[in-house]
A and B are shown apart, each in its own frame.
Chain A
Amino acid sequence: MAMVHRSEFLPWLPPMGRKTLFALALAFICFAFAFPVLWLILTSLRPESGVYYVHRGTEFTLGNFAEVLREERIVEAFVNSALIATLATVFSLLVTVSSGYMLSRFTGPASRLWFGTIYVFRCVPYISWVLPLYFVTQSWGIYDTYTGLLLPHVAVHICFFSWLMKGFFDGIDPSMEYAAMIDGCTRWGAFIRVAVPSALPAISALAVLCWLFTWNEFLFALILTGNRVPMITVVMAQFVTEMGLRWNLMAATAVMALVPAFLIALFGQKYVIRGLRI
């Protein structure tokens, strides 16, 4: 694709005008993305009576956060979500890294079969997985348990992220592994000692994406859990009751749920960018 030279973009505008227009467009896009989050934060700071006129109220409170933190179920949901997200990330990376490596480096029948399998699962709409998984977890007796939620997450991550990992390994020169094999390593040794360290930025990026994906996930959490394993995304939705909508509490919970995701994204962005550049 041919690159558009800057002077070819709106050529009738002077350079300063083009720069200003570009800056305004950028500011608008940033604002459009940030606006819902800002609105959410404002809502979380408003008393219950003020959530419908956030834009003109002057009364602010931290009471919503205090009320949310007093709810044992919400605290439990935070712990559960963090635990499931972390475990799902660790377990799925253990498989995804070797699976992506195999897809990238081997072209035998086993690799082709594995590629075909994850391709098929990748094509199945996400929502189509949920009902069969509900029946499977019920029949295995793991419905509404950590295992019942963890296994589907790991399975989905393996299918979705093996592709990404394959792409990362495709970008790493296999000669390094050949050199390691000549230098005294087995194939497995070359993978562990040379390929994996070289792919570390990509693996870190995948870890961040994996964690955020599980933390934000709603559908599995809704269908595959009941009362025993509350998850933050489901608990948040439960502020919609027959008695009405508790917007202020929902917003406070959402802001709190944003914090870990924000921190992970903030500190992990360096790895995500480096990883995605491999």
Chain B
Amino acid sequence: MAAISLSKLNKHYGSLFHAVKDVDLEIADKEFVALVGPSGCGKSTTLRMIAGLEDITSGDIRIGGKVVNHLPPRDRDVAMVFQNYALYQHMSVYDNLAFGLRNKKTAEAEIKVAIERAAGMLGLHELLQRKPKQLSGGQQQRVALGRCIVRNPQVFLFDEPLSNLDAKLRAQMRIEIKRLHAEIPTTSVFVTHDQVEAMTLGDRVVIMRDGRVQQIGTPLQVYGKPANKFVAGFIGAPAMNFIDVTVRSETAATSVEGEALRLTVGASQARALAAHNGRRVILGVRPEHLVLGDGAPGLGFDARVEVVEQLGSEILLETRVGGASVTAARVPAETVIARDDQVRLWAQAGRLHFFDPETELPISG
């Protein structure tokens, strides 16, 4: 059993900077949790506190039910993959892999078996006698993964391990990590600033901002039911569009009005918005939920195309609605469209989000 439990975890740097604020998180045994957020949100500090590389200011960290607050990293039975690989440059790949086991006084024969197994899983057999400097970035990261696997720890910690790789390699390594977790189900915490990595790898995703947890949920939950405007904007690429609108609750229907835009709202959301009648709210709609052509009545609006980004599989449109509002839409790659074209975009029914402009919390029915 290696569940991880963080309760009321805080980290202060001096009296001025409060890096991690009251983080509560329960990670089940064998679960893969991704911590995601912008730079400086406290996700790496949280991970380093779990690893024991950073002292905690207050709160508790439990690994496998045992409080590890004051245990040094070597006694926590965790393994960690770092952003810049952190391979021992003066040792061969074999010695890098054996380092942790030799520290535990494991017999050389056993070490050899463990390394053979890890090398087989990661395709490292031909690299075992090389020095890290003789390896490519992807190979070095595979060695770093192997170093974790051979130790067979209770917990895997990943600190932005794919950030230094190019886009293609990043996608490959993402699959490799996913496959490894399926083969060796071990409790894993993965820190990243890339929401695609978090969504694709995590059984659950933890979104952090300014040291606080914003939302914890499955990828579908954080995408479909964001806990606030920040999460809504952070999850999803391209990011969700936000447009200032005013609520108009009338007997026949409830609608929201913005500059050159009027959308009719469904019954359940209308009930929630009734309390905001005549007030300004923030409308959120994802680019993938805007379509060209025909749509449901009351959900269309005119826009002028400003930028056309042809991606091959689809087109991303940057459009201007009225004077200032800028929105984006994803449309089929075959669409014939050019800058300055006037188009009619349709929001998909039931895919509108509304947020209170002051609290930034969702207004939901």
Contacts and interface: CB of A to CB of B under 8 A. Distances in A.
Which of A173, A184, A200 lies at the interface centre, i.e. has the most chain B CB atoms within 10 A of its CB? A184
B99 A198 contact: no
B147 interface: yes
A66 interface: no
A194 B79 contact: no
Contacts of B73: 178, 181-182
A186 B86 contact: no
B82 A194 contact: no
B72 interface: yes
> For chain A, what secondary structure do more than half of its interface residues adopt (helix, strand, loop), or is it mixed?
helix
A175 interface: yes
B151 A183 contact: yes
A183 B99 contact: yes
Contact of B89 (A182, A185, A186, A198): A198
A197 interface: yes
Interface residues of A, number: 16
A184 B51 contact: no
Contacts of A184: 74, 99-100, 103-104
Contacts of B52: 181-182
Contacts of A13: none
Interface string A173-195: 10110111111111000000010
B53 interface: yes
A175 B74 contact: no
Contacts of A173: 84, 86
A178 B74 CA distance: 10
B80 A179 contact: yes
Nearest to A189: B103
A181 B79 CA distance: 10
B86 A185 contact: no
B87 interface: yes
A95 to B, nearest CB: 23
B227 interface: no
A198 B104 CA distance: 22
B150 to A, nearest CB: 10
A182 B103 contact: no
Given A185-B74, A185-B103, A180 B88 contact: yes
B168 interface: no
Contact of A183 (B53, B90, B103): B103
B78 interface: yes
A197 B99 CA distance: 14
Given A175-B84, A185-B74, A180 B99 contact: yes
B303 to A, nearest CB: 44
A200 B90 contact: yes
Contacts of A194: 88
Given A182-B51, A182-B79, A183-B151, A176 B88 contact: yes
A175 B88 contact: no
Contact of B80 (A178, A186, A200): A178
B90 A178 contact: no
A181 B72 contact: yes
Interface of A: 173, 175-176, 178-186, 194, 197-198, 200
Rank and list the top 5 A-B pairs by shortest CB-CB distance, nearest first: A184-B103, A175-B86, A183-B100, A179-B86, A197-B90
23 contacts: A173-B84, A175-B82, A175-B84, A176-B86, A178-B82, A178-B86, A179-B86, A179-B88, A179-B147, A180-B99, A181-B52, A181-B53, A181-B72, A182-B52, A182-B53, A182-B74, A183-B151, A184-B74, A184-B100, A184-B103, A185-B74, A194-B88, A200-B90
